[in-house]
Amino acid sequence: MKKIAVVLSGNGVYDGSEIHEAVLSLYAIQKAGAEYSIFAPDIPQHHVVNHLTGEEMKEKRNVLVESARIARGKISPLSKFNADDFDALLLPGGFGAAKNLSTFAFDGADCDIHEEVANSINGMIERNKPIGALCISPVILAKLVGKQIELTIGSDKGTAEAVTAMGASHQQTDHGEIVVDKKYKVVTTPCYMLDASIAQIGTGAENVVNKLVELI
């Protein structure tokens, strides 16, 4: 059975993983006949956001602990990820990808990528293994790879310009559409970077996962 590693960034769109994207990706992986293992870095969240009001809260949370809510406790620290053990890697979106896995939300094209995230992605690229990225998470690949890697974050002008500034080639897409970079085996789709319904998120997640399985 093909094995896909899923990297989460917390629990909730404003400060962690986008839950619809994460769960529907896990569903798509099993539906495609593959199996998943879930990882997250064992680090403090950048901040905590009240998802009812959108306001920042005065408390501290841990990315691994919060991601475990989505994983139902079956999750490992990203430090334990070994690219040799998996056939593909998948990054759901949510602001956690831009706040916890990277600093893109604050630094744009000048962002840094968390070391464990970079090591995991680079390990897969070095082994010519496919990587999927949803929503905002393709910016991480743009930063790490650059070199005109083809990807999409939908149609947001500012984010697309940042992606281009990092050396990637941005392709504008609509709901459920995917962009495949054949050289790096990277598959991306916009999800909630567009004004999407949960059904459209499911379609995007399935299309990415099915392509990943095809590329394995």
CATH code of 157's domain: 3.40.50.880
Count of domains observed in the chain: 1
Q: What is the pLDDT of residue 139?
A: 97
Q: Can you tell me the mean pLDDT for 141-151? A: 94
**Is the pLDDT confidence value at 129 over 90?**
yes
Grade residue 146 by pLDDT with cuts at 50, 70 and 90: confident
The amino acid present at 130, given as its one-letter code, is: P
Q: What is the pLDDT of residue 62?
A: 98
Radius of gyration in angstroms for the set of CA atoms belonging to the chain, rounded to a whole number: 15
Beta bridge mates, 186: 131, 181
pTM greater than the 0.85 cutoff: yes
Q: For the packed helices 63-71 and 19-31, what is the interaxial angle rounded to 10 degrees?
A: 50
Quick: pLDDT tens for 23-45: 999 999 999 999 999 999 999 99
Q: Can you tell me the mean pLDDT for 42-61? A: 96
Beta bridge mates, 91: 133
Choice among 70, 111, 135, 142 that is catalytic: 135
H-assigned helices in the chain: 19-31, 63-71, 95-99, 104-107, 115-126, 138-145, 157-165, 198-215
Four-residue CA torsion sign, 164, 168, 172, 173: negative
Distance separating alpha carbons of residues 193 and 155, to the nearest angstrom: 8
Annotated catalytic, 135? yes
Which pair of tokens denotes residue 174? 């609509």
Report how far Cα 170 is from the mean position of its chain's Cα atoms: 16
Helical (H) or strand (E) element with 88: strand 88-91
Query: How high does pLDDT run on average in the chain?
Result: 97
**Is the pLDDT confidence value at 85 over 90?**
yes
Quick: pLDDT tens for 147-203: 899 999 999 999 999 999 999 999 999 999 999 999 999 999 999 999 999 999 999
| Structural domain containing residue 46 | 3-215
